[in-house]
Amino acid sequence: MFYTPVLQHSEEKKNHTVCACAYRTAAANNNRLNAVPYHSKMADLLGSILNSMEKPPTVGSQESRRKAREQAARLKKMEELEKRKKAEFRKKMEKEVSEFIQDSAQQKRKYNPMGKIERSILHDVSEVAGLTSFSFGEEEESRYVMLFKKEQAALEETASSKTKKTEMCPNTNYRDKYVHLIGTSAAKDAAHTLEANRAYGCVPAANKRDTRSVEEAIDQIRAKKRQKQEEDSGAPSSSS
């Protein structure tokens, strides 16, 4: 009778202790269950970061970069060589065009077939020198350039546009003309002075002769070239 409350109180205390232990155990298990996904997510995040980072170059990639650098160096060297060849070709054409201008016996010159770039350089040099140039030929491999002095180009253009006619400036025409005006002897002297030269038309050949030296002609061609480049470069700024 006297020990019953004590036993009951001890039993309740024991049950309370068991419940507290069970609660702590369940909470610990729950924390472990929740911790697994967190660590898994962190691992996935770290993995994606590592995968996105640039990997160190391998032997194969280093070899590819080395080959790319070598190829770029070769291309640059080829471009410089091509540029030097163009400059040398232009210098050669300037000398030949200058000699052609001074040669009073030549009114036109035909060049051997050449490539498109060479033809464009020759056209540019002839234009700066005050000549007329044309390209002829059907196929690209057979196209060539012909240079004409201005008076010769005009004569050939006139001859091609007209049908067959008598010569415009024969000696007899001058004689007949001056006979009616100043008499026979004066007409002969005038006709002799204005004797037609077949290469130049009705103008005395001495008036057609270029008295410049080769060096002077080349200097003038280059000066005209520089002036043309300056005008072309200054055109956009003046128009704006």
Domain annotation covers residue 108:
yes
Residue 221 lies in a domain: yes
Return the closest-CA partner of residue 96 out of 114, 111, 83: 111
24-73 pLDDT, tens digit each: 665 555 555 454 455 566 667 777 776 766 566 666 678 888 889 999 99
CA-wise closest residue to 152 among 203, 96, 116, 86 = 203
Rounded Cα distance, 167 and 171, in Å:
10
| CA dihedral sign, ordered 227, 228, 230, 234 | positive
- pLDDT per residue as tens digits for the range 141-194: 899 999 998 766 556 655 555 554 444 444 445 455 545 554 555 445 544 444
Q: How many angstroms separate the CA atoms of 155 and 218, rounded?
A: 26
* H or E, element range at 108: strand 108-110
57 occurs within a structural domain: no
Residue 171 included in any domain: no
Helices of type H across the chain? 4-52, 59-102, 116-128, 150-161, 171-182, 184-193, 214-239
115 falls within a domain: yes
Q: What are 192-215's pLDDT values in tens digits? A: 444 444 444 444 545 555 555 666
Determine contact, residues 140/116, Cβ cutoff 8 Å.
yes
Domain region containing 120: 69-165+210-229
Closest CA to 125 of 95, 153, 164: 95
CA 67 to chain centroid, in Å, comes to 26
d(CA 131, CA 124): 10
All residues at 6 or more sequence positions from 123 whose CB lies less than 8 Å from its CB, including other chains: 133, 135, 145
Whole-prediction pTM: 0.45
In a domain, 40, yes or no: no
Q: Exposed/middle/buried for 9, CB within 10 Å: 0-12, 13-18, 19+?
A: exposed
Q: What is the CATH number of the domain that holds 222?
A: 3.30.1370.50
Residue 205 belongs to some domain of the structure: no
DSSP-assigned letters across all residues of 110-158: EPPP--HHHHHHHHHHHHHTT-EEEEE-SSGGG-EEEEE-HHHHHHHHH
191 burial type by CB count under 10 A (0-12 exposed, 13-18 middle, 19+ buried): buried
Residue 32, domain member (yes or no): no
DSSP state of 109: E
What's the number of domains the chain is made of?
1
For residues 219-231, average pLDDT: 76
